[in-house]
Every structure is written in C-alpha cells, then in structure tokens.
Amino acid sequence: MTAAVFAAVFVALLIGHSVGDQWVQTHHQACAKGGPGWSARLACGRHVLTLTATKVLVLAVVVSVLDLRVTTLGLIVGLGLDAASHYWADRRTTLARFAKAIEKSEYYNLGGAAHPDHPVTADGRPALTTGTGAFHLDQSFHHFWLGVAALLIAAF
C-alpha cells in the first residue's frame, strides 16, 4: 500500500507543482523572486506559499477521493522540505551556483543571452525563449524534491 500512496502522492504533487509554478505564480513573483534584497525574498516567499497551497489543495482532493492514509507529520515534513528546496532554487543565484559547481553552467545558460549559441531575432538581438537550460534544470530540481516529499509523505 505504501508504494501506491507514494505513486498517488507524487502525481498529485507533480500536478500541483505544474499548476502552481506556471499558472498561480504571478508575473511579479516570477520576475522579482531571484533579485537582490528583501523585496525579492518576499516575492519568492509569496510564490512558495501559493505554490505549496496549490499542492495541498490537489493533494487533499487525491487523498480524499482515493482514501489514502497519510499522516500529519508526513505531510508537514514532506511539504516543508519541498517548500524549502523550492525557495532555495527559485532564488536563482543558488541554482546557478549549483549548476556551476557540477559543471552544468553551459547547459544552464543554454537558450539565454549568456550562452554563445543563444537564439537571436532577425536583426541579431537576443531572442526570448522559455526553452532555456535554466528552466529545465530548475524543473528537474523541483521534480527531484517532489519525489523526496512524496516518499516522506508515504513513509511516515
């Protein structure tokens, strides 16, 4: 039964993450959360708060409909670790430094103006794209921690 709880919880967290990170997050939060100072830290905190609330909502529906057995402690530990890791990564400089430390800077910069092969417009200016290495590394980092959170929620 624990494996089924893990699988259902992971799917619920992944759905909540996708909706919360892409649809619920405000434009201001997305633009400001990686900047310097307290206003950026607060923007990131507000994003993580609404993201976590979205995950809790989706998870509550799945747990209720499927009658899953989860504990309050498991939810607090799993969702707390997930929220902390999400905040850490979304401050941006932290994830960029991590990518550099594991020699992933070139991939991290892929698709952005800092990469030597960045996409350009017809007149040679950097073209904006959401298909950046930074985005993919960010999302895979979050997915890893969603898995850890689901495992903790299922195991407690």
pLDDT tens digits in sequence order for the chain, 156 residues long = 799 999 999 999 999 999 999 999 999 999 999 999 999 999 999 999 999 999 999 999 999 999 999 999 999 999 999 999 999 999 999 999 999 999 999 888 887 666 666 677 778 777 666 678 889 999 999 999 999 999 999 999
Residue 12, CA distances (Å) to 53, 63, 109, 124, 131 in order: 13, 9, 30, 43, 25
> What residues contact residue 20 under an 8 Å CB cut-off, 6+ apart?
50, 51, 52, 53, 54, 55
The residues facing 120 across adjacent strands are: 126
Please tell me the pTM assigned to this model. 0.89
> What residues contact residue 106 under an 8 Å CB cut-off, 6+ apart?
115, 133
Q: For 32, phi and psi rounded to 5 degrees?
A: -95, -25
